[in-house]
Amino acid sequence: MTLGNFLDLDEQHSSFDWARVLVLPLPLEATVSYGRGAGRGPAAIIKASQQVELYDREHDDEPALRYGVHTLDSPQLSADDPEAAVAQIAAAVARAASSGKLVVALGGEHTVSAGVSRGLLETFDGRLSVVQIDAHCDLRDTYEGSRYSHACVARRMLDDPRVERVLQFGVRSAASEEVAFARDHPDRVRLWWAEDVRKGAWHEELRASLEDRRVHLTIDVDGLDPAVVPATGTPEPDGLMWREVLDIVRTTARSASIVGVDCVELAPQPALHAADYAVAKLVYKTITYAINGG
C-alpha cells in the first residue's frame, strides 16, 4: 500500500538512492486492549507530515532537504499472529537497515518495536541500548494470554542479551510485577517516572549510560500528555510535554548513535487531527536530531 512520501518531498529528495532516511509504515493492530485505531496510525502520520513546514527554526534551515527521506511500502503483517508479525517486521527492518540508512518505523501498536529491535540487532554487530518514551513500562511477561502483547514489548526486547539496557522516560502507569522486575534488574532497566523527568536531574545519567552506544529510540505517543496527543489507545494524564520529549530525544542524539527509531500508538480520530500533526512534527524533529547528532 503506497501512502505517499513522508513530508511530501519531491522526487529528488525522496528517492531511495539519494535519501539517508527510510520511513517504514507498520500498521499492526493485533493485541490492542483498550482504544482501537493504531493500525491507522502510519497513514495518518504520513498524511499529516505533508502539511509540516520543512523549515526548522532550531537548525535555521530545511533539514529534510539535506538528508532526504524515502517512504517504503508497508510489508504484509500477520495481524492474527503477533509473534509471526514481529518476525516479519524484523526481516523488513533488517533489509532496510542493511542499506546503511536510518530506519524510522511508524506503528501501529507498540508490539512492532520488538520486531524493530530484532531487525536492528540482526544488522549491527555488538550491543544495543533502548531509549523508551512511554506512559507504561511494557515489562509484563504475558498479557491477556500473549507474550507478544503491546504490554510486553520492553520485556521481549530484554529477552535478547545483546540489548544492554532499556531506559524508560515518562512512565506513570504500571503493574506491581513490572515495578518489581525493574527493581530486581537495575542493570537492565532504568525507569524515570514522569515526575522524575520534570525534576530535570536525569541528563548526566542518561549521557553516561549512552556514551559510545548504539541506540534504538522507541516513542510511544502516550508518553506525551493527552493535551498534546489525545488520540491514542490508552491516554494517561500528567504526561510529558512537547519540550520535555524533545529534550530527551536531543540528549539521546547528542550522547549516542541512534541507529533506528520507531513511533507508535497513534490512534487517529476524525476530530483530533492536531494529534496526527503533532506526531508527524515530532517524527521530523527526531529524524533531524538523529541525523545531526542533536
- For residue 125, say whether it is annotated as part of any ligand binding site: no
Q: Which domains does the chain have, with CATH numbers?
A: 6-292 (3.40.800.10)
- For residue 220, say whether it is annotated as part of any ligand binding site: yes
- For residue 262, say whether it is annotated as part of any ligand binding site: no
Residue carrying the nine cell digits 538512492:
17
Q: What is the pLDDT of residue 36?
A: 75
Q: What is the pLDDT of residue 166?
A: 98
SS3 of 220, please? Answer: strand
- For residue 138, say whether it is annotated as part of any ligand binding site: yes
pLDDT digits (tens), the chain, 294 positions: 457 899 999 999 999 999 999 999 999 987 565 557 789 999 999 999 999 999 999 999 999 999 999 999 999 999 889 999 999 999 999 999 999 999 999 999 899 999 999 999 999 988 999 999 999 999 999 998 889 998 999 999 999 999 999 999 999 999 999 999 999 999 999 999 999 999 999 999 999 999 999 999 999 999 999 999 999 999 999 999 999 999 999 999 999 999 999 999 999 999 899 999 999 999 999 999 999 999
Torsion over CA: 6, 71, 125, 121 (sign): positive
CA distance 273 to 279: 10
- For residue 13, say whether it is annotated as part of any ligand binding site: no
Q: What is the pLDDT of residue 243?
A: 98
- For residue 222, say whether it is annotated as part of any ligand binding site: yes
Q: Is 237 exposed, middle or buried (0-12, 13-18, 19+ CB in 10 A)?
A: exposed
Q: What is the pLDDT of residue 1?
A: 44
CA distance 192 to 198: 10
- If we measure between CA atoms, which residue out of 130, 133, 145, 69 comes closest to residue 259? 130
SS3 of 285, please? Answer: helix
